[in-house]
Amino acid sequence: MSKPELRLIGEDGNVFFILGKAVREAKRAGWSKEKIKAFQEEAMSGDYDHVLQLCMEHFEVV
């Protein structure tokens, strides 16, 4: 299963912007509401670096 693309180069580095963009791309990729909710909860359980690591796990970050 390929990961959806998440383009962050040249974008706002704010963690809330990153999460919002990740959720939009997840919806576009057809993730279930449950999977998106789990991703958001996991992302919010850590710091900024945790969010970036989680994005790299679930998306093809460019």
Whether residue 6 contacts residue 42, with contact meaning beta carbons closer than 8 Å, is answered with no
Q: Give per-10-residue mean pLDDT for the chain (62 aa).
A: 89 91 97 97 95 96 93
User: How confident is the model at residue 27, as a pLDDT?
Assistant: 97
53: DSSP letter: H
* Helix, strand, coil percent values for the chain (each to nearest 5): 60, 5, 35
Write the CB contacts of 55 (distance below 8 Å, at least 6 apart in sequence): 6, 8, 18, 22, 43, 61
Q: pTM for the full model?
A: 0.90
Q: What is the pLDDT of residue 52?
A: 94
Contacts of 49 (CB under 8 A, 6+ apart): none
